[in-house]
Amino acid sequence: MTPEQLSERLWQFAARIAEVVAILVEECDQLCRILGKSIATAKAGRKQPSGDGVGTRLPITDDKFSMTNSQSKGPRY
C-alpha cells in the first residue's frame, strides 16, 4: 500500500467516524429535549403545599407513644 492509498483510507475512515459522532450527538440532543419536557410535565402536575411550605402533621395521641414526665428526665441510677 502506498502512502497515498493509506492516506485516502484514513480520510475515509475519519469521515465515517464523523458521521457516527454526528448521529450520536443528534440522538443525545433529542433525548435531552424529551427528558426536559418530561421533567417539566412532572413538575407541573405536582401539587404545591399551601401556606409556608411546612407540611401539616397530625399529633400522636396514642398513649404508647407519649412520654411521661419521669421518662423525659432519663433513667435514674
pLDDT digits (tens, 9 = 90+) for 12-48: 999 999 999 999 999 999 999 999 999 988 888 876 6
Residue the block writes with cell 399529633: 59
Backbone φ and ψ for 21, nearest 5 degrees, come out as -65, -40
Q: What is the model's pTM? A: 0.47
Give kind and range of the element (H or E) at residue 40: helix 3-45
The span from the CA of 46 to the CA of 52, in Å, is 17
